[in-house]
Amino acid sequence: MKNYKNSFLKYDQERFEEYLGNVKKGNSKIAAGALLPHLIIKSLKKGTGGEVAVLQWQRMVDDLSAKGKLKNCLAISDVSGSMMGTPMEVSIALGLLVSDLSEEPWKGKVITLSRNPKLQIIKGDNLGAKVESIDRMGWDMNTDFQKVFDKILEVAKEHNLTEDQMIKRLFVFSDMEFDQASGVALPPHYALGFSPKKFSPVNWETDYQAITRKFHESGYSSVPEIVFWNLKNSAATPVPSHQKGVAMVSGFSKNLLKLFLEEGGLMDPVSTMESAIKGKEYDALVVVD
């Protein structure tokens, strides 16, 4: 469909439009399994691809929903200047996908990358308007994660949320280089104010203790976990393999979200990796030393 939709419209427009109409009615199906979310979003801007993109997006959401629930999750989508190009397209697409798969009161919302994080409502009644809404949200180059959790608690208190309604996971879609060591040359965008110390193991342990205390004091027994989702070709590791409450993934594929569709035990980078490679397709592989 991605490669031939323009040809269908040019040489067989009547039957193609009839097919799209049947897809809308549920009488026909459209494939989306092999598509990356940001490529669907990108095709929205290519004239005739808009209607097809909307149907493919809905099919993708429906397919993922059928595999399990992404219950009480929230995305932090980085749309800062350093994200220009494909990383920004992926950040917007995956952030929107998480919001579509989430439940109220978190459905249709994202948190901005900012010193003073805000819970933003994704506005618009169609896919194109929602993408534009995220793209126009304010951003900053520094995120205080304690303030992110403070904002979540603020919303929870405002809506009198129960333990079952509380956020379980935060997905951070960004190109950030999570540097841990002092004296290491930093990427240029750090000069604009981003602080790598926010992601050092020592600082995260300290923050995690403070966050846990605040949640317990507010009557919640568990603290949301963080999934750092790296959208650039980087070997940086913001936390060690045993770090509690944190997972690390990278890439553009929506299929990685399947790792988090159902609630499980407390995450750490190693258990996340093991979940990613436990499929039957890996059983035939052997280690050759």
Give residue limits of the domains in the chain: 1-67, 69-277
Percent share of the chain, pLDDT over 70: 59
Q: Is the pLDDT of residue 10 over 70?
A: no
pLDDT of residue 188: 38
Contact 268, 211 (CB under 8 A): no
Residue type, 182: S
What is the structure's pLDDT at 165?
86
Whether the Cβ atoms of residue 160 and residue 179 lie closer than 8 Å to each other: no
Would you state the pLDDT for residue 18?
A: 65
Looking at the predicted structure, is the pLDDT value of residue 135 above 70?
Answer: yes
The amino acid at 229: W
Task: Round to whole Å and give the CA distance between 86 and 92.
Answer: 10
Which residues are paired to 281 by β-bridges?
Answer: none
Pick the CATH number of 69-277 from 2.60.40, 3.40.1350, 3.30.360, 3.40.50: 3.40.50
Predicted confidence at residue 274, as pLDDT, reads: 59
Any alpha helices (H) in 123-268, and if so which ranges?
127-135, 145-158, 201-217
Tell me what pLDDT residue 193 has. 38
Q: Is 261 helix (H, G, I), strand (E, B) or coil?
A: coil
Kindly indicate the confidence band of residue 57, based on its pLDDT and cuts at 50, 70 and 90.
confident
* pLDDT category of residue 217 using cuts at 50, 70 and 90: very high
Whole-angstrom CA distances from 199 to 42, 94, 238, 261 are: 31, 22, 6, 25
Mean pLDDT score, 220-235? 80
Quick count: other Cβ atoms within 10 Å of Cβ 278? 11
Q: Where is pLDDT greater, at 242 or 123?
A: 123
Parallel, antiparallel or unpaired: strands 225-230 and 169-174: parallel
Structure tokens at 21: 């109409």
pLDDT of residue 182: 26
Q: Which residue, 120, 137, 113, 111, is CA-closest to 193?
A: 113
pLDDT of residue 190: 35
Report the range of poorest mean pLDDT among 164-173, 224-233, 270-279: 270-279
pLDDT at 143 over 50: yes
Is the pTM for the entire model greater than 0.75? Answer: no
Are the CB atoms for 213 and 117 separated by under 8 Å? no
Extract the tokens encoding 93.
């697409």
DSSP code, position 136:
T
Rounded distance between C-alpha atoms, residue 253 and residue 2, angstroms: 17
Question: What is the rounded average pLDDT for all residues in the chain?
Answer: 72
Is the pLDDT assigned to residue 205 strictly greater than 50?
Answer: yes
Distance CA 185, CA 190 (A): 10
What is the number of other CB atoms lying within 10 angstroms of the CB of residue 126?
11
Q: What pLDDT is attached to residue 102?
A: 85
pLDDT in the model for residue 17: 65
Tell me the average pLDDT across 54-78.
82
Interval 108-125 mean pLDDT: 84
